Amino acid sequence: GGIRGGHGSGTGGGRVPASEPGAAEAGSSAMIAAQGAGTRHEDGDEWRRVPRPHWMPDPPAEAMVPRTSRQLPTVALVSWASGEKYEKRLDEFRASYQQAGFAEAVLWKDADLKSFVAQLKHPMAKEFGRVNQHRPYCAAFKAAVLWYAMTKEGASDYVLWSDASQYASGSIRGNIRQAVERLQGRASRAENGRFVPESSVWRKSAWWTKAAADEHHIRSVYGQVHCGFFCGGLPLSNKVKNNIKDGTATEFKELLSGPWRSRFHILNSNILLENTPENRLLVWDWLSMYLAKPGGFCGSHTQDQAAFSILVENRTLPVMNACPYVTSRGMLPSPSKPARALRACFQSSKGYNWFIDAVAGGFYEVVTPEAYDTLFLQADGSPFPSELTKSR
Q: Give the CA angle between residues 262, 264, 269 to the nearest 5°.
A: 145
Q: Which tens digits make up the pLDDT trace of 358-389? A: 899 888 889 999 999 999 999 889 998 866 65
Highest mean pLDDT among 1-5, 252-256, 328-332: 252-256
Query: For the segment 22-71, what is each residue's pLDDT rounded down to a tens digit?
Result: 444 443 333 223 322 233 445 567 889 999 999 999 999 999 998 887 88
Alpha-carbon distances of 195 from 67, 246, 358, 365, rounded to whole Å: 38, 39, 13, 11
The pTM for the full model equals 0.85
Instruction: For residues 233 and 210, give the distance between their C-alpha atoms in angstroms, rounded to a whole number.
Output: 18
CA atoms lying within 13 Å on the CB side of residue 258:
15
What are the C-alpha distances in Å from 36 to residues 76, 82, 250, 317?
17, 37, 48, 30
Question: Where does 102-213 show beta strands of DSSP type E?
Answer: 104-108, 158-162
